[in-house]
Amino acid sequence: MKNKIRVLRAERQWTQEELADSVGVSRQTINAIEKGKFDPSLPTAFKISRLFDLPIEQLFEYEEEEL
């Protein structure tokens, strides 16, 4: 899933560690989410959207996989 987490985090000058602590996940989880290697759980996605004060739809974009 594509997302804008890295850009938004950089705009606020937050480290991955700071974002992870605020959301309650590990820095490695934030890294994997930013790289699109891991899709967050719904509760985690809501926490991230609240931190950035944006709807989930503006943070994450679903990519359909080709069959």
* Architecture of the domain delimited by 2-53: Orthogonal Bundle (1.10)
Distance between CA atoms of 60 and 32, rounded to whole angstroms?
14
| Residue pLDDT, tens place only, 24-56 | 999 999 999 999 999 999 999 999 999 999 999
| More confident site: 15 or 65 | 15
Average pLDDT taken over every residue of the chain: 94
Query: Which pairs with CB-CB distance under 8 Å and at least 24 residues apart come from 35-43?
Result: 36/1, 36/2, 36/3, 39/1
The domain locations on the chain are 2-53
pLDDT of residue 58: 94
> With bands split at pLDDT 50, 70 and 90, how would you rate the model's confidence at 63?
confident
pLDDT of residue 66: 56
